[in-house]
A and B are shown apart, each in its own frame.
Chain A
């Protein structure tokens, strides 16, 4: 149980590749924080600096108020689960799990008790005598988790632990991980490139790009109130639609205009957008904020259907508005075919605007 604090954390390699830039992050006791971002965004490097596997170029990592920059990994009282599991191939499952305890000079009966207990939690007691190569992917994953939990460390670190599993197993292990965290309540830092994993697992999600934290917050907060275009596009599936529009003064307020599209700027955004009058901004609409329009309202536009993707629980429409591609998520009962014309309306409370230059939310 511990609090982890990252202060002005920087990592550069050989003075030219700046992998992590001024990361500040406070992770509370019991919290499950997910670092998410595209590959090369610095999330794994950040995690490895917390683990002590990577030197810190500048800044501080502290665990429970104690700066650990110069502590060896073994002295930080953490456990880490790796993407490739990193099970010791020459040891049995039992020995894999007991290794950390033996290194820390635990008594033999205590080791046995802890390993049995962890194996119970994870349902791997029948596998204790086997070698890692005799296990399936999911079983290896459980052993890797078991090896992390036997020591009862202050912090868990996860480095994309589910990405080597097939899709069905990934969903199952995701649920198990969440259950495990509810039960153990150990502070956890989890790295993934999968935004679905990030949203479902994290108490708090930190979105990174190019070594910089773009936004941090509760999953739904990131979804509903992204502070920049990158987060808006990264969180949510299918991704948010972006249309470049011009803001123009018109009858009774501001209007957003683009070829084939003219919609009213919702009243709660009018104030902020007024100084962008006559300029281009980026309008963001989530596919799930779109629905078929009842007549020509101020919050609707015409679209040409290009592709229809019936997924059963929903229909995805790939449409074109003017020349901008837009994806819309529709009720499965909708009857529509390619090359149809449809009129789509959006919820005025769910429209986002971003500065065209800085990409910050307006």
Chain B
């Protein structure tokens, strides 16, 4: 490619790129800085002689200590992890099978069924939680992890199904036909040939599903009430905002530590994840 003048590259490439990076990373930076600021800099900073708006010269671990020892944060982390993992496993299992069926099996209404599943994904959670709350109460699941493990799939399964359907469609169907001629049943062809090839897609769907359940707020807020049953997003908000008092330090510490597992999951699978997005299989 012919680049043209140097300044053009700066104006059209580096500058917008820098703005993007700044815009995306600044909240995380602010989270980290707020976590480490002493209370005196957080409230009435004009009284603090050493106050710098974007920096702190007196970092403290006080808020993290407070979060870990004064609240049930550890319990919330464990709850969130368990719920997200179980919901992801259930949704992946159903999504992979449904996606395969919709992409590969020729049956009546396969196309319209796919659309209907997609539409269910579009129903906003802020509406869906009302009937779901009724169901949760009828089955006496309120205030247990199962309330979320069983309701998260309502939006995760359509999501995984659609992602996997798209991925399965990129895998040449000759591979499967060849396996079936080679002596595999439809099930064996799926298990030995299609699923291993679809692994990047399955991982992407899994990461997305895990992140969506990790971050989920409204169901967790409505279906859980005891502090020891809460997930991180709900626990941090409901226990660290008391009345109109915001405990900014522990709040930000909670947000920071709460986002670490997701960041690890992302970076761990990033290669597969990218492959899943581009979704190319070359025979």
Contacts and interface: CB of A to CB of B under 8 A. Distances in A.
A85 B283 contact: yes
A86 B172 CA distance: 8
Contacts of B180: 53, 72-74
Interface residues of B, number: 20
A9 to B, nearest CB: 19
Interface stretch (A76-84, A311-319, A335-343, A351-359): A76-84
Given A86-B172, A86-B175, A90-B197, A73 B283 contact: no
Nearest to B185: A74
Given A72-B185, A74-B181, A82 B282 contact: no
B282 A89 contact: yes
Contacts of A72: 180, 185
Given A100-B183, A133-B282, A82 B178 contact: yes
A64 to B, nearest CB: 17
A88 B179 contact: yes
Interface in A130-144: 132-133, 140
B141 interface: no
Given A89-B282, A132-B283, A103 B188 contact: yes
Contacts of A88: 175, 178-179, 193, 197
Contacts of B178: 80, 82, 86, 88, 147
A298 B241 CA distance: 109
B184 A74 contact: yes
Contacts of B181: 51-53, 73-74, 76, 78-80, 100
Most buried by B among A73, A78, A83: A73
Interface string B218-250: 000000000000000000000000000000000
Given A82-B177, A84-B172, A89 B183 contact: no
B185 to A, nearest CB: 7
B177 A103 contact: no
A223 interface: no
A98 to B, nearest CB: 10
B183 A86 contact: no
A99 interface: yes
A183 interface: no
A41 interface: no
B3 interface: no
A151 B178 CA distance: 13
B182 interface: yes
B166 to A, nearest CB: 18
A74 B282 contact: no
Interface string A90-103: 10000000011001
A53 B104 CA distance: 13
Interface in B153-185: 172, 174-175, 177-185
Contacts of A82: 174, 177-178
Contact of A103 (B174, B183, B196): B183
B283 A99 contact: no
A87 interface: yes
Nearest to A55: B106
Nearest to A102: B183
Contacts of B184: 74, 99, 103
B183 to A, nearest CB: 4
A104 interface: yes
A90 B177 contact: no
Contacts of A83: 174
B40 interface: no
B122 interface: no
Contacts of A89: 197, 281-283
Nearest to B183: A103
A104 B172 CA distance: 23
Interface string B268-283: 0000000000000111
Interface string B194-231: 00110000000000000000000000000000000000
Nearest to B195: A90
B177 A99 contact: no
A151 B181 CA distance: 11
Contacts of B197: 88-90
Given A74-B180, A99-B179, A132-B283, A86 B174 contact: yes
Contacts of B192: 99
B200 to A, nearest CB: 11
Nearest to B175: A86
A87 B283 contact: yes
A151 B183 CA distance: 10
Nearest to B188: A103
Nearest to A159: B174
A52 B184 CA distance: 13
A60 to B, nearest CB: 20
A73 B174 CA distance: 13
Contacts of A78: 181
A252 to B, nearest CB: 62
A214 B34 CA distance: 82
B215 to A, nearest CB: 33
Nearest to A106: B183
A103 B183 CA distance: 6
A140 to B, nearest CB: 8
10 contacts: A73-B180, A74-B183, A74-B184, A76-B181, A78-B181, A82-B177, A88-B178, A89-B282, A103-B188, A133-B282
Closest 8 CB pairs of A and B: A100-B182, A103-B183, A86-B174, A86-B178, A82-B174, A74-B183, A73-B181, A73-B180
